[in-house]
Amino acid sequence: RYPREEFSRGRGVHGLMVLRNLHVTESFDFAELFRDEVNYTCVWFRFRNIVVGGYYLPPSLDLTICRESLLKGFEYVEDQNRSVFLVGDLNMRMGVVTEDSAKNSRSRLWYTIEEMGFCWLQPDEGKWTVDTARGRSIVDYVFANPQARRLVKSTKVWKAEWVAGSDHRVISSTRS
């Protein structure tokens, strides 16, 4: 299911794209740390001294399972000397907090993420991570622990950039 093999109508297929410069990095710079083989919610990997947890929490997934999946990454956050990012499509709508037009039950996950020591890297540019004929929303996020936050100069939701086969916009963070 990384990615799923069945045909998609623009919903339910997920992935995490990491771009690396082959002239600067080597394959040993990357290591997969954990992959959820049960619910297919996340993959954690290390790039040099940075750890990234990439998530897709489908709307149909029970809130308890979503919370448990997020907590699997807690062991990577516990190391206070490590820069850790938690990114992805959480299908979490926060209403006033993110200036989204709606709030859903997934908003309770925000507190779990904060308790893990992460803060949201609010985009300096752009806002809506999904903007389609069905409506617009903010469901994709980049969170960072304090060490990782110091590495980020800016975060941007690209208004005109889409990944083929996805209804979500590209989000990028620039290193300071």
CB 142 within 8 A of CB 116: no
Can you read off the two tokens belonging to residue 40? Answer: 């297919």
How many percent of the chain have pLDDT more than 70?
A: 85
- Is residue 4's pLDDT more than 60? no
- Is residue 154's pLDDT more than 90? yes
pLDDT digits (tens, 9 = 90+) for 120-143: 999 999 999 988 888 889 999 999
- Is residue 105's pLDDT more than 90? yes
Query: For residue 25, what pLDDT band results from cuts at 50, 70 and 90?
Result: confident
Arithmetic mean of pLDDT, 13-38: 74
Q: Give the residue from 86, 90, 93, 34 showing the smallest Cα distance to 57.
A: 90
Cα 83–59–39 angle (5° rounding)? Answer: 65
- Is residue 12's pLDDT more than 50? no
pLDDT reported for residue 93: 95
- Is residue 145's pLDDT more than 90? yes
pLDDT digits (tens, 9 = 90+) for 55-89: 999 999 999 999 999 998 777 777 768 899 999 99
Number of helices (H), then strands (E), belonging to the chain: the values are 4, 10
Task: Let me know if 140 is exposed, middle or buried by CB neighbors in 10 A (0-12, 13-18, 19+).
Answer: buried
Angstrom distance (rounded) from CA 157 to CA 169: 7
How distant, in Å, are the alpha carbons of 1, 99, 148, 159 from that of 38? 10, 34, 28, 34
pLDDT reported for residue 17: 63
Mean pLDDT of the chain: 84
Query: For residue 10, what pLDDT band results from cuts at 50, 70 and 90?
Result: very low
Angstrom distance (rounded) from CA 16 to CA 88: 8
